[in-house]
Every structure is written in C-alpha cells, then in structure tokens.
Amino acid sequence: MKKYFTNNFDSKEKDEIEFLNQNIVSVNKKEYDYDYKFLNPNVVMLRMNDKNFIVTVSDNDEEEFYDVNLGSQMYKIVAKSELDLLVDKMSSGKNEGREKKEIYSPMPGIITKLNVSEGQKVNKGEVLLVLEAMKMENEIKAKKDCVIKKVNVTELKSVEKNELLLVLD
C-alpha cells in the first residue's frame, strides 16, 4: 500500500492518493478502478473507471515538482509520499533557518545503495543513498550542493530510525 499527498500549484486543495491494491486507487477516500501502461518513460496510458487518459509527466529535480499534461491541460504538481513528509517534518522545526549538516535515517531499514564517499562533491537533487524499508526503496537526496564530510553507513547495513547516516560540509 502506497500513499501520496499531492498539491496542484493552481489550487490550494491537497489530494490524498492511496494505491490500495494492483487495480484500485483511493483519491480523497473515493475508490477507482485503474490500469496503466507506460508508452515511454514519461508517457502513461491511464484507464480509470472505463475512461482513457494519456498522461505526460516531466519531473524537475531542481524545483521538486512535476509538470503533468492531462487531456491537454498542464498542471504543476508536488507529490510527496509519507516518507517525504516525515523527512520534511524532521528537517524543520527547532533548527529551521540553519543549514542541515547531518542526515539521519527517517525509519529503520537497510541501505541498499550508497552512492557517495567521504570528500565527494554532490549536487542538489543527487541521490546520496537508497534506504529500503517495508519493501519500498526510498531515495535520500541532497537538499543542496555540498561535500560529504563523513559516511557512517555501508551498503547492506541495517539502520535504526534517527541513526546518523551522513555528515555534510
């Protein structure tokens, strides 16, 4: 079960989208039958409740939103998973206004990919590591251009919630 929260730039309304199983999706607590087929990596043929839609999605790593073309209508959409919201919540609060120099695990899991090493320069949006939790792969990305000061994990290592993963400079 995957849950996402979306927000259209042109609207103040937020939508809750939850994939209940392989063919049923809940949008704001209303269930729909759906099926899809990728025509190419950015174009999807979507069938919802016996209606067909062609959906074109372009992601913009720098701005953290998606351009979605649905039926000749363009939308700018922000889509965040529960993990993204948790990471946002953990990275704001008492340290707001200060630069984050440490990255902690948002949940227990296993580091399946470690893409950085100490002293490496990384760019904003670059995937630092992949954390697998509850059979889902979660990419931990750089929030800004930085240098990796210290790496506290290795691939295939289990980590606990709030464990220090990386120190940035």
pLDDT value at residue 99: 58
Q: Which fold has domain 2-81?
A: Glycoprotein, Type 4 Pilin (3.30.700)
Q: Is 64 left (phi over 0), alpha (psi -120 to 50) or beta?
A: left
pLDDT value at residue 91: 65
pLDDT tens, per residue, the chain with 169 residues? 578 788 776 676 788 888 888 889 888 889 999 998 888 878 888 888 888 888 887 766 555 677 777 777 777 787 777 777 777 777 655 444 455 788 888 888 999 999 999 999 999 889 999 998 877 888 888 888 899 999 999 999 999 988 899 999 8
CATH 3.30.700.30, the chain: domain bounds = 2-81
Pick the CATH number of 99-168 from 2.40.50.100, 1.10.287.130, 3.40.50.2300, 3.40.50.620: 2.40.50.100
Cα–Cα distance for residue pair 155/30, rounded to 1 Å: 40
pLDDT value at residue 149: 94
How far is the CA of 18 from the CAs of 25, 62, 71, 163, 167, in angstroms?
Answer: 6, 26, 22, 28, 34
CATH 2.40.50.100, the chain: domain bounds = 99-168
pLDDT value at residue 95: 47
